[in-house]
């Protein structure tokens, strides 16, 4: 089966600019996650979707970050305006159900550098 | 938020040596997962553990679910160059998404 697809792979922007990342999960996976991984850290959850509804966005900095999954398949994550501390790898993951017990399948990530 | 503490942070070993790393939590977990991340890639699931005391193997990798349910261990036997990467423990604290440790970075010297 095809894996989780993410684009772009790399992005360099200046601070205060906006940027968007795209994710296409594994076909049939109802649950989609966006994680932020800062260099030297483990992934940290930003938002969890179940189909096209938000389940958990408690750690999403909502003043600058937004995410949507309009048709319950693809998702986009946007940052506007970007700050230097947003430099990180943004990982998308998906799972068949909301249960975390069987793990998630991750995409290769988008590496964002804010200068 | 919930934190998982992994140790060591990094290790350099000779090819052929065995490796041990561990992960501890301040609260009880019902599931422990171990992931490996190669450079430029997302984490890949290696082993999943579901019961206290459980020992599970995947090739040269063996992981254990600690008896207190607050820790887990990963061992790699006879390391090879492709074992290089970052190993993360992860688990769901309750009925919530996965939280990850900071990782153990493994370097193998041929």
Q: Which of B42, B90, B96 sits opposite A107 (nearest CB)?
A: B42
* Structure-derived torsion over alpha carbons of residues A58, A53, A74, A37, reported in degrees to the nearest 10: 10
For residues B66-82, give the mean pLDDT. Answer: 97
Cβ atoms of A16 and A114 closer than 8 Å: no
In 3D, which of B8, B21, B29 has the Cα closest to residue B90? B29
Contact B40 A43 (CB under 8 A): no
Tokens for A7, please give them: 């684009």
In 3D, which of A9, A15, A3, A10 has the Cα closest to residue A82? A15
Confidence band, pLDDT 50/70/90 cuts, at residue B3: confident
Contact B48 A59 (CB under 8 A): no
Confidence band, pLDDT 50/70/90 cuts, at residue B94: confident
In 3D, which of B93, B96, B100, B86 has the Cα closest to residue B8? B86
> Hey, is the C-beta of A107 within 8 angstroms of any chain B C-beta?
yes
- Whether A110 has a pLDDT exceeding 80, the answer reads yes
């Amino acid at each position: 089966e095809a894996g989780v697809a993410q684009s772009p792979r790399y992005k360099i922007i200046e601070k205060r600019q906006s940027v968007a990342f795209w994710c296409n999960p594994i076909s049939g996976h109802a649950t989609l996650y966006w994680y932020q991984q800062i260099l030297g850290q483990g992934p940290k959850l930003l938002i969890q979707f179940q189909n096209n509804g938000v389940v958990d966005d408690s750690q999403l900095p909502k003043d600058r970050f937004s995410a949507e999954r309009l048709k319950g398949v693809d998702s986009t994550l946007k940052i506007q305006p970007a700050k230097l501390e947003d430099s990180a790898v943004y990982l998308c993951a998906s799972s068949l159900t909301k249960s975390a017990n069987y793990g998630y399948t991750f995409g290769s990530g988008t590496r964002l550098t804010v200068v | 938020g919930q934190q998982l503490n992994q140790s060591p942070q990094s290790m350099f070993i000779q090819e052929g040596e065995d490796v041990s790393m561990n992960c501890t939590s301040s609260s009880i977990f019902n599931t422990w997962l171990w992931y490996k991340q190669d450079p430029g890639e997302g984490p890949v699931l290696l082993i999943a553990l579901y019961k206290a005391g459980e020992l599970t193997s995947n090739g040269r990798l063996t992981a254990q679910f600690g008896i207190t349910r607050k820790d887990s261990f990963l061992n790699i036997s006879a390391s090879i160059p492709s074992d290089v990467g970052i190993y993360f423990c992860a688990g769901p604290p309750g009925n919530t998404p996965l939280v990850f440790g900071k990782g153990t970075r493994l370097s193998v010297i041929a």
